[in-house]
A = this chain, B = another copy of it.
Amino acid sequence: MAKTLDRSLGDSLSVEGAAVSEMLAAALDRVAGVVRPEPLLESMRYSLLSDGKRLRPVLAIWCCEACGGESSMATGVAVAVECVHAFSLIHDDLPALDNDDTRRGKPTNHVVYGESTAILAGDALMAMAFETLGQAYGTSPMCGRMVVELANATGAAGMIGGEWMDLDAERKLLDAEDVERVHLGKTARLLQCACRLGGMAATADRAQMAALSGYGKALGLAFQIADDLLDVTGDPARVGKRTGKDAESGKATYPGVVGVDASREKAAALVTGALAHLEPMGESAERLRQLANYVIDRTV
């Protein structure tokens, strides 16, 4: 397994990430209606257009291409998943939830714009995700399935339910199975959704969709374990936020339950599983393989 970020993957990621940022800015400008208060848009822009890995939109685009689609076919799903991700960060950081005041080295949304604007900006970003999906795929027979996929991954049965369990976990003693359930909801489901939406945008067949689903779920769990490990072992300047916070607040983390070494092993096993899911896809899935290895690189 590669120990450092593969040069060509790094290049691909930054090219794709820059293209995604342009798509996001354009999508924000397209929001039109009876009202459109600029300070609210400004707060949405702050979180949606801030630097980030753009992991979810890049996954959507690369999964679309791995299934034989053009990257432009995935623009709508790429924007939609990033809107949902940005919304979730704003709300998770709120004082009533994780109470974080920095993210990616910058003050969080509510610190800059105030709590009420941050709550509404998060809400508006979720609505924008669905508006974008409807606009981009309204004439496609896949539209309904895409909307259900994103809404299910976002809602009480997915990311939002996982975030609730994560907060609830602060009051409880969890085992590894509980932590996996929290991670499945909080992180893995939306990453899997990004992969599946990318596949749907390419009208992937059943076998391709199964491969992307398995890959996305395993990658998502590995990614969250890597994130937990960074909180324990990472350098705050590099991570872009305060570290050691999970343990302080009693968060559900793998290292907290099974220790650092077992967590690294688990993440490695998940990446191996993710790669196995991609086997039938051959050459077309090469960048998805590199991305899975990149997740592991973050943990060592």
Contact = CB atoms under 8 A, between A and B. Distances in A.
Contacts of A157: 31-36
Given A126-B126, A138-B147, A160-B123, A31 B94 contact: no
Given A33-B189, A184-B35, A131 B147 contact: yes
Given A33-B152, A160-B120, A138 B143 contact: yes
B156 A134 contact: no
A185 interface: yes
A200 B253 CA distance: 46
25 contacts: A31-B152, A31-B156, A32-B157, A33-B155, A33-B157, A34-B157, A34-B188, A40-B160, A40-B164, A41-B156, A87-B123, A94-B116, A116-B167, A123-B123, A124-B161, A127-B151, A130-B147, A131-B148, A134-B146, A134-B148, A135-B148, A138-B143, A138-B145, A138-B148, A143-B147
A40 B134 contact: no
A25 interface: no
Interface residues of A, number: 68
Copies in the complex: 2
Interface string A117-136: 10110111011111101110
